[in-house]
A and B are shown apart, each in its own frame.
Chain A
Amino acid sequence: MDTTLDKSIVNIDEMVLNMGPQHPSTHGVLRLKIHTDGEVVSKIEPIIGYLHRCFEKHCENLSYEQIVPFTDRCDYLASMHMDHAYSIAVEKLLDIELPERVEYIRVIIAELQRIASHLVAIGTFGLDVGAITPFTWTIRDRERVLDLFEALCGARLLYNYIWPGGVSHDLSPKFIQRTQEFLEYFETQIFEYNELLTGNKIFIERTADVGVMPADVAVNFGVTGPSLRGSGVNYDLRKTQPYSIYDKFDFNVPVGEGTMGTVGDSWDRYWVRMVEMEESIKIIRQAMASLPDGDVHAAMQKKIRPAKGDVYSRYESARGDVGIYIQSNGKNVPLRLKMRSPAFCNLSVLGEIGEGWMISDVITILGSLDIVLGEIDR
């Protein structure tokens, strides 16, 4: 923007705007210090730590089994993913084989959780650009996933379901039937979301070409998950480093193609999540069709007491690449547990791609990155 004002006459100063931690669309308790020139943002400083709960320090004082409820509380919109990521790391450290059925159940649950998490992401993104109805619709459908989880393990948000060495409850035939009903219903709903939001002219105007994140910027900042794939990088740990049994399923990894604007704009990031839900449906269908019988607990010692050593495992959560590093000294508590938070890295790119846009666009870009403060602050 060309401002050819004589600065000796007119006193031009940038205004520092404090957005959050109590703000409707910072997705939790994020605080943004925004330097603005009129409506145009010249600098964004994210300030985090308002939800810091010493997750990693807690883990150093808790036995391996006791950590699972704490992982739940990291990414509270995708608790199953956090449980799963942590369980995979511990199992890798223990080097144990899991029953086939456990892996299938975990995949079904993880993909259902991915749908639930993406529904929140899409709904709140709609809220951020000012559409209220998509949010209530997505929350309504997420409710059905939560109902399924409630039938499964009794909890609706923080499940404590996936444990190192298995899952807490077996799937019932009723659950499988209800899940199938849900998937059939949900496929029609995706069409409705597209009608209401994806193809809306105003929505496209607001999101296409806004907050373009080129692939090299995304990679340099360590952005992962749907936000990275929105930039056109085909990188999904479920495909590139298949954990669990993801190599057995046939699914596509959607990447941003710049359908409505430039590759890597907010619309692409939104659209990737939309298509990923359809891919999740595919995976769940395949997993349920070939669900084997068996036990849901691996044969392992009662107290988890891994040998000395360390392990780093990676997991594709709804927000990106969750890394769990565990260092064991042979006791029943980890010596050190470090978690790589995908939302933290995704948030770091905000300052880079958000500069030069208007305040409304900063909200849009933040919404398209889909951060969860519980996971950023841990």
Chain B
Amino acid sequence: MTSIVKSIIASFQAFPIDPFLLAVLAILIPGVIIFLIMAVNALIAVYFERKVSAFMQDRLGPMEVGLFGFKGGKKFWGGIGQTFADAIKLLSKEDIIPQDADKFLMIMAPFIIFTGAFLTFVGLPMSDSLVISNFNIGIFYIIAMSSVGVIGIILAGWSSNNKWSLYGAMRAAAQMISYEIPIALSLILVVLVSGHLDIHGIVQWQADNRWFILHSPFASLGFVIYFISVVAETNRTPFDIPEAESELVAGWMTEYSGFRWALFFLSEYANMLIVAFVASIVFLGGWLSPFQLIDLPFIDIFPESWLVLDGTVFGIFWLFIKAVILIFCMMWFRWTFPRLRVDQLMYVCWKIFIPFALANVILVSIWELIF
């Protein structure tokens, strides 16, 4: 299985190049790619979220800002440049660090959160041959890396020297650590059934059999538990208690401004993309075409890939479509539901999700034994 790092090394080895420089290039190029993915994702996702929320709230959303002086008709291009304008605004804002804050930790915190999201992309494939680096423990790596962010959140809350930030950080720590358990237990199901920790193996299993969500009723339940838990993991409504703006002002982000705050924002939307990707890959067949699910009548006449629309390029398309649908669901939750209280949140996690997820692991194993 090829990966971007491997192909970079392979293509540059033809030239007489210093091995050290080669290593730097092999790190730098994927890094830039990941950063671009994160930045573009944030730009599009923020615009998408604004338009979705505007649609749900009977508003128009951003309508005025165009791109490069091009405004176009308001019907389609309305406000497409708004997030660019916001990004420029955030970058040019004054960077405020409170006098009594722990300056070193406060500066560090956004980078730690950003790093967590950044590193997760390394193991996350976009298509069957498009992955930065191919791990044989892909799922495990993704679970591990997505828990790095919580350290940054605690640091941000603590170092701000603000009571609201501290409350937000403590809530975030409790919430994110708790919800990692049902997430891991739901992802274990697919590992159990397919026998692969490696993401390509998981998708290959789904190609050979069927999408994992259709494997058994328990696998479908696992998807539901996973999806609700990742909404909590990414701190979005109805589980946005760490940054509950009506209670904690802005939670652990209260004292941040400018670029540091933009990094939080970037990581938040990157995390949304990551969890949507993982859900699509693990439960919804990843880059497999949904047309494989149906028996097409003309399949014998044409080459299979014509009708099924499979392959590397369409793989990216399908993966993104699935991820965007899941992201839309997360936005739908956000603009529909009120927020849970902190103890109710813990109740949902420890008394509902974890027992069900544990039972799920056993039931899926039994299902595998029987069928």
Which residues does A use to contact B, with CB under 8 Å?
15, 17-18, 23-25, 39, 126-133, 136-137, 140, 196-197, 200, 202-203, 205-206, 358-361, 363
Question: Which residues on B sit within 8 Å (CB–CB) of A202?
Answer: 238, 337-340
Contact of B337 among A17, A131, A363 (CB under 8 A): A131
CA distance A196 to B344 in the complex (A): 20
In the complex, which of the residues B53, B339, B344 has the most CB atoms of chain A within 10 Å of its own CB atom?
A: B339
Question: Which residues on B sit within 8 Å (CB–CB) of A17?
Answer: 163
Pair A127/B246 contact, Cβ less than 8 Å: yes
B336 contacts the other chain (Cβ, under 8 Å)? Answer: yes
Pick out which of these stretches binds chain A: B55-63, B273-281, B303-311: B55-63
Which B residue's beta carbon lies closest to that of A18?
A: B163
In the complex, which of the residues B163, B167, B240, B337 has the most CB atoms of chain A within 10 Å of its own CB atom?
A: B337
Question: Which residues on B sit within 8 Å (CB–CB) of A127?
Answer: 246
User: Chain A's interface: helix, strand, loop or mixed, by majority?
Assistant: helix
Question: Which residues on B sit within 8 Å (CB–CB) of A140?
Answer: 58
Which B residue's beta carbon lies closest to that of A34?
A: B163
Total contacts A-B at CB 8 Å: 78
In the complex, which of the residues B163, B238, B246, B335 has the most CB atoms of chain A within 10 Å of its own CB atom?
A: B246
Question: Which residues on A sit within 8 Å (CB–CB) of B167?
Answer: 39, 359
Question: Which residues on B sit within 8 Å (CB–CB) of A126?
Answer: 338
Pair B336/A205 contact, Cβ less than 8 Å: no
**If the complex has contacts A25-B247, A132-B57, are A358 and B338 also in contact, measured as CB distance less than 8 A?**
no
B342 contacts the other chain (Cβ, under 8 Å)? Answer: yes
What number of B residues sit within 8 Å (CB to CB) of A? 27
B235 contacts the other chain (Cβ, under 8 Å)? Answer: no
Question: Which residues on B sit within 8 Å (CB–CB) of A359?
Answer: 167, 247-248
Pair B338/A206 contact, Cβ less than 8 Å: yes
Chain B nearest CB from A214 CB (Å) reads 22
CA distance A61 to B238 in the complex (A): 52
Pair B246/A205 contact, Cβ less than 8 Å: no
Pair A130/B246 contact, Cβ less than 8 Å: yes
**If the complex has contacts A24-B249, A25-B247, A360-B244, are A130 and B339 also in contact, measured as CB distance less than 8 A?**
yes
Binary per-residue interface labels of chain B (329-371) against chain A in the complex, 1 for a CB within 8 Å, 0 otherwise: 0000001111111111000000000000000000000000000
Chain A nearest CB from B241 CB (Å) reads 7
CA distance A218 to B338 in the complex (A): 27
Question: Which residues on B sit within 8 Å (CB–CB) of A18?
Answer: 163
Pair B342/A360 contact, Cβ less than 8 Å: yes
Chain B nearest CB from A169 CB (Å) reads 31
Chain A nearest CB from B109 CB (Å) reads 22
> From residue 167 to 185 of chain B, which have CB atoms closer than 8 A to chain A?
167
> From residue 222 to 240 of chain B, which have CB atoms closer than 8 A to chain A?
237-238, 240
Question: Which residues on A sit within 8 Å (CB–CB) of B240?
Answer: 130
Pair B59/A360 contact, Cβ less than 8 Å: no
Question: Which residues on B sit within 8 Å (CB–CB) of A361?
Answer: 341
CA distance A341 to B193 in the complex (A): 67
Pair A203/B338 contact, Cβ less than 8 Å: yes
Pair A133/B163 contact, Cβ less than 8 Å: no
**If the complex has contacts A359-B167, A359-B247, A360-B241, are A129 and B338 also in contact, measured as CB distance less than 8 A?**
yes
Question: Which residues on B sit within 8 Å (CB–CB) of A15?
Answer: 163
In the complex, which of the residues B247, B248, B343 has the most CB atoms of chain A within 10 Å of its own CB atom?
A: B247
B95 contacts the other chain (Cβ, under 8 Å)? Answer: no
Question: Which residues on B sit within 8 Å (CB–CB) of A197?
Answer: 338
Contact of A130 among B53, B163, B238, B249 (CB under 8 A): B238
Which residues does B use to contact A, with CB under 8 Å?
53, 56-59, 163, 167, 237-238, 240-241, 244-249, 335-344
Pair A358/B342 contact, Cβ less than 8 Å: yes
Pair B342/A39 contact, Cβ less than 8 Å: yes
CA distance A122 to B344 in the complex (A): 23
**If the complex has contacts A206-B341, A358-B343, A360-B341, are A133 and B336 also in contact, measured as CB distance less than 8 A?**
yes
CA distance A130 to B339 in the complex (A): 5
Which A residue's beta carbon lies closest to that of B54?
A: A136
New contact pairs (18) apart from A24-B246, A202-B338, A206-B338, CB-CB < 8 Å = A25-B247, A39-B343, A127-B246, A129-B246, A129-B338, A130-B246, A131-B336, A133-B335, A140-B58, A196-B336, A202-B340, A203-B338, A206-B340, A206-B344, A359-B248, A360-B342, A361-B341, A363-B246
Question: Which residues on A sit within 8 Å (CB–CB) of B56?
Answer: 133
Chain B nearest CB from A136 CB (Å) reads 4
Question: Which residues on A sit within 8 Å (CB–CB) of B344?
Answer: 205-206
CA distance A126 to B238 in the complex (A): 13
A-B contact pairs, 6 of them (CB 8 A): A130-B240, A140-B58, A203-B338, A206-B344, A359-B247, A360-B341
Which B residue's beta carbon lies closest to that of A139?
A: B57
CA distance A196 to B163 in the complex (A): 33
Question: Which residues on B sit within 8 Å (CB–CB) of A128?
Answer: 246
Chain B nearest CB from A116 CB (Å) reads 18
**If the complex has contacts A24-B249, A130-B240, are A358 and B341 also in contact, measured as CB distance less than 8 A?**
yes
**If the complex has contacts A130-B240, A137-B57, are A24 and B245 also in contact, measured as CB distance less than 8 A?**
yes
Which A residue's beta carbon lies closest to that of B241?
A: A360
**If the complex has contacts A202-B238, A363-B246, are A129 and B339 also in contact, measured as CB distance less than 8 A?**
yes
CA distance A203 to B342 in the complex (A): 14
Chain B nearest CB from A39 CB (Å) reads 6
Question: Which residues on B sit within 8 Å (CB–CB) of A133?
Answer: 53, 56-57, 335-336
Which A residue's beta carbon lies closest to that of B343?
A: A358
Chain A nearest CB from B333 CB (Å) reads 10
**If the complex has contacts A23-B249, A359-B167, are A131 and B59 also in contact, measured as CB distance less than 8 A?**
no
CA distance A247 to B340 in the complex (A): 43
9 closest pairs, A vs B, by CB? A130-B339, A136-B57, A131-B338, A25-B246, A129-B338, A130-B338, A360-B341, A203-B338, A202-B338
Pair A363/B247 contact, Cβ less than 8 Å: yes
Chain B nearest CB from A175 CB (Å) reads 25
Chain A nearest CB from B199 CB (Å) reads 34
CA distance A131 to B163 in the complex (A): 24
Chain B nearest CB from A285 CB (Å) reads 26
Which B residue's beta carbon lies closest to that of A124?
A: B246
In the complex, which of the residues B240, B338, B341 has the most CB atoms of chain A within 10 Å of its own CB atom?
A: B338
Which B residue's beta carbon lies closest to that of A207?
A: B338
